[in-house]
Every structure is written in C-alpha cells, then in structure tokens.
Amino acid sequence: MVTRVPELDSGLVGQWQAGGGELIDLFAQAHQQLGPVAAFRLGPRPTVLVTGPEAVQHVLALHPDRYVKRSHRARLLIGDGVLAATGEAWQRQRRLLQSQFTGPGMRRYEQRITEAARTAAARWAAYARGRAVLDVGDEMRRFALDTIWRSLTGHPLDPGTERELASVPAVVAALPSLPADGAAAQGAVAAELARIDAVAARAIAAARDGEAGPDGPGLLHVLLEAAGTRPEYTDRLIRDELVTLLVAGHETTATTLTWLHLLLDRNPQAREQALAAGAEGSPERRQAVQALVHETLRFYPSAWILPRCAAQDDVLTGYEVEAGTDVLVCPYLTHRDPGLWEEPERFDPERFTTPGRRPKHPGSYLPFGIGPRACLGLQFALRESTVLLEHLLPAHTPRFRSTPAKTAYGLTVRPDGPTPATLVA
Ligand code: HEM
C-alpha cells in the first residue's frame, strides 16, 4: 500500500519557529513522532526527512538517479568541482579522482600523512614544554589542511599560504547566511574568494612549471596531466577541483578530530582502552584507534544532513514522494536511533571492534554517505585521523580550560566556540 508521508503538525512547527529553535530540534521531533520517513512544512511545500536505513539506502544508493543533488550555495566557492558537479561531467571527474583515492593511489599519500602527523606532534611537544595554551580545534584544522595541501601540491603548508587559506573556513561559515541573489552573495565574500583564487593560481602555476615538491608530484599534477588530453580540464575546472578537495578534505576531518578530543575528555577510559589494545604500531592498536574515530563519526557525522531533490515522482519505502520535493537524509539522527543502536548516547568505541555490536544495514551508519556519491576521501580521512592519533594519544592529553557549551548545526556539525587547552604529558 502506498500512503502519503506523515507530516508534522503545523502548530508544532509554528511553536518551533516562534521559539527560534535549531533545525536539529525540528528534525528530531519529526523523527521521534513520525518515524523513518517524515515530512514538515516550512514553506508551501513539504520537506521530507529520511532517517530509516531502508529509506536512506533507497535514496542514496539504490536510486541516486531519482534523488539528485541540487545546485547548492557552496558552488560560489567550489564551482564545478566534483562535489557539486552532476550528470556526465560528474562521472568523468569522479572517475579521474577515484583512482587517486583508492588502493595503490592511496599509497602515495602515506608518507605525506606521516610527515604532517609528525609535524603536528612536534608542535604539541613544544606547547607541552612551554606549558602554552593551544586551541585544539585550530590545531586539528592546521593538521588537516597541511595533510591535504601536501597531497595536492607535494609541499608542506607554509605559514603564508596557511594565513591566506583562512579565507576558506570564513567563506564556508558565511555560506548559510549569504543573500539568495548570486551576485550579491559573491560580492559579500569577494575579498575572501579573491585570496583563495590567488593561492590556487599560484599552486597551479608552480605545478605546471614542473615543480614537484619534496614529496614528489601531487594530485594537482594528475589534474594538469589530464588537461593535456582532455579539453574540459580548463584552468577554471582545475581551480574548482583544487578548492573542492581543500574544502571537502579538511573541514570535515578537522571537526571530527576536534570532537574526538572533546569526547575523550569526557570519556578518558576510552583513550586508555585504545592504547592498551596493542603495542605501538600493532594492528590491534590501529584498529582500536580507528574505532575511536568511527564512534566519534557516529556521534557527530560532520556532514549531518545530505540534501537531495526528487527528480521524478517516486514511492519511497511505501510513501509517495512528488517530483521536486526536497529530501533530507540525516545521518545524525540515524546514528542516534535507539531502535538501531544500543544505548546510542553512550560513547562506546568497542561497538566498532566487537562483532555483532553494530547494526548491519548499510543505511544505518553513513558518516561518509553511501552509494555512487559517497565520500571520495573516505580512506584518506580514516588514514590521516588514525595516523595523527597514533602520534598524539600516547604522548599528551589536552586538559581543556573551557569547552563550547553549544553545538553549531551549519554546513557541518561542529563545536560552537573555542577549545583552549594545555597539554599534560
Ligand atoms: C571525516 C572526514 C570526512 C567526512 C565525514 C566526509 C563526509 C562526506 C560525505 C557524507 C560525503 C557525501 C555527501 C553527499 O552524499 O551529499 C562526502 C563527499 C565527498 N568527500 Fe568527504 N568526508 C570526509 C573527508 C574527506 C576528505 C579527506 C576528502 C578528500 C581528500 C573528501 C572528499 C570528498 C569529495 C570529493 C566528495 C564528493 C564526492 C562526489 O560527489 O562524488 N572527504 N564526504
């Protein structure tokens, strides 16, 4: 039987609007009251919220042709890069990059990831010696940016470029509140975009000059090589791919690692257990450290909503969805559903190392998305996070001077405020 998607009472939506609540509160209410596929109305048309594993799999993995990405605001920053591209252009771009982020392609980054982790660990050792206060979030961002920059260009991130690239998170943070009109939005962040374009142009020119960098050629060289035989790889598209990988490849990892330190602060035994799982460099320790990352991503999947638009009428696990409907897949709520996860509010990394402790359905755990548009950098992100933690965890523990009281649910879900700490050996 096919029925209409159950819709949240308009009075409740009105109350939520009047209370100035966070979007997540509205979503949680719809999910709790109405189940795995629920609708609410903020304008004339209903928006459909998808949280149940079967429905998640239907939208993202089984029928990606029926639920498509709509051109989003981030295009202002990432242009036609692979994250925003659609159709055949996306397929071509994805195919080129995919080989760089799997199997043998990934091996090229091992050394760069290790170097970036060593650099971060040396910085932490210096902070500890000087009893200095550091900001854990800023440190994680520095590491993630250095790692992706090395992988793109073959060079470690220099302080000048790092300063200029502060414009990237500035634009990302501004995106949700920019004017709807494209030109006005562009104008509002014109100075930041110009700075980012200048960094990209310099990196592209250096790679084109054949300057490979101490770590050998980077991803940028692969893109330039493609341009030799494929006219669609114009300088503009190469810039867009470069900025896409910078944006997609550092903010998400940085927030995840920041959450991880905050969660370990509240759950110190989890850190001890991970270190006790095996000796330094052993597969057992690596697996336990990776489980810390997975459990953090269950709690705080940085991409907490994955927006799609129904390209045609469809029946979604028994519910009618009309063409043109906005559909929001919400990993954040799926990951905290007590019907799927035992004691979801408990930080318990062992659910990722003990067989049978986590739900089996592919739609029940999706911090990297699922289906053809799933994260290209999944292996990269897990590798860089694990390697960094293998360097930091045995040496220092951050003692936070204060922690953010609020969570910001913007483009990513992140701690809303500074994270100052000193380090204890
Ligand atoms: C913990 C870190 C990360 C998380 C949680 C994450 C999450 C995601 C998610 C959920 C998507 C799918 C979005 C959707 O379906 O709408 C995605 C796409 C993507 N991610 Fe990641 N990501 C991470 C790190 C990275 C890294 C390190 C890179 C690059 C080195 C990267 C590159 C990309 C790209 C290029 C896409 C677009 C793929 C496409 O549309 O074909 N991500 N990511």
Taking the C-alpha atoms of residue 374 and residue 248, their distance in angstroms, rounded to an integer, is 12
Q: How far is the CA of 377 from the centre of ligand 1 (A)?
A: 6
**CATH code where residue 143 lies:** 1.10.630.10
Residue (of 88, 199, 103) closest to 152 by Cα position? 199
pLDDT in tens, the chain (425 residues): 899 999 999 999 988 988 878 899 999 999 999 999 999 998 889 999 999 999 999 999 999 999 999 877 788 999 999 999 999 999 999 999 998 898 777 888 899 999 999 999 999 999 999 999 999 999 999 999 999 999 999 999 999 999 999 998 889 888 888 888 888 888 889 999 999 999 999 999 998 887 666 666 789 999 999 998 999 999 999 999 999 999 998 999 999 999 999 999 999 999 999 999 999 999 999 999 999 999 999 999 999 999 999 999 999 999 999 999 999 999 999 999 999 999 999 999 999 999 999 999 999 999 999 999 999 999 999 999 999 999 999 999 999 999 999 999 988 999 999 999 999 98
pLDDT at residue 104, as a whole number = 79
Show the tokens assigned to 389: 């933690």
pLDDT at residue 70, as a whole number = 83
Instruction: Put the strands of the sheet holding 46-50 in their side by side order.
Output: 37-41, 46-50, 326-329, 306-310, 67-68
Cβ 153 under 6 angstroms from ligand 1: no
pLDDT at residue 99, as a whole number = 86
Residue (of 46, 71, 50) closest to 62 by Cα position? 50
Q: How far is the CA of 241 from the centre of ligand 1 (A)?
A: 13
Q: How far is the CA of 75 from the centre of ligand 1 (A)?
A: 15
Ligand 1 atom at minimum distance from 148 CA: 30
Taking the C-alpha atoms of residue 137 and residue 261, their distance in angstroms, rounded to an integer, is 9
Ligand 1 atom at minimum distance from 94 CA: 41
pLDDT at residue 411, as a whole number = 84
Taking the C-alpha atoms of residue 415 and residue 403, their distance in angstroms, rounded to an integer, is 8
**Residue 33, C-beta contacts closer than 8 angstroms, at least 6 positions apart:** 8
Residue (of 242, 222, 163, 226) closest to 195 by Cα position? 163
pLDDT at residue 214, as a whole number = 66
Residue (of 389, 400, 412, 407) closest to 168 by Cα position? 412
Q: Is 71 exposed, middle or buried (0-12, 13-18, 19+ CB in 10 A)?
A: exposed
Show the tokens assigned to 349: 């990394």
Ligand 1 atom at minimum distance from 308 CA: 16
3-state helix, strand, coil in the chain (%, to 5): 50, 10, 35
pLDDT at residue 120, as a whole number = 98
Instruction: Put the strands of the sheet holding 397-400 in their side by side order.
Output: 134-135, 420-424, 397-400
pLDDT at residue 360, as a whole number = 93
Ligand 1 atom at minimum distance from 101 CA: 30
Q: Residue 9 is inside which H or E element, if any?
A: none
User: How many domains, the chain?
Assistant: 1
Q: What pairs with residue 40 in β-bridges?
A: 47
Cβ 331 under 6 angstroms from ligand 1: no
Cα angle 99, 256, 119; round to 5: 75
Residue 390 amino acid letter? E
Cβ 28 under 6 angstroms from ligand 1: no
Cα angle 112, 114, 120; round to 5: 105
Q: Which domain holds residue 67?
A: 3-424
| The model's pTM | 0.95
